[in-house]
Amino acid sequence: MNGVRVDGVRVRAAEPAEGTVVLAVAGEIDVAHADAVRRAAEPRLGQGVRLVLDLTDLTYLGSHGLAVLADLDGAARARSGVLVVVTGAANKAVLRPVALTAMDQVLRLAPTLDAALADPAA
């Protein structure tokens, strides 16, 4: 994956298969960094694209980050695409806020990147 630091958040991008884009985000998605993640992800949401947002190395997911996930999910659906969020199997920094806000009932989640890429429905 190639990597860039966007406004203090490390974002790495890869295209492991045609029509699938993986963005690995490390650090924090808070009020200061949410727009940077949005700017990195939105241009990759093409028609029918499966965007896999790998948050395994995320250390904090705040309300602004949750809003970005919801917005990206809506944008993907509007383009007949899919957003899959990789939470990390035991990453409480992601799992806890997603569960507390019931976003786990809305978003497509996968515990690992391998699981997200192996699931043809995702």
d(CA 102, CA 6): 28
Return the CATH superfamily for domain 2-117: STAS domain (3.30.750.24)
Average pLDDT in the chain? 91
Q: Is the pLDDT of residue 35 over 50?
A: yes
* pLDDT tens track for 97-115: 999 999 999 999 999 999 9
- pLDDT for the residue numbered 121: 64
Structural domain boundaries of the chain? 2-117
* pLDDT tens track for 48-82: 999 999 999 999 999 999 999 999 999 999 999 99
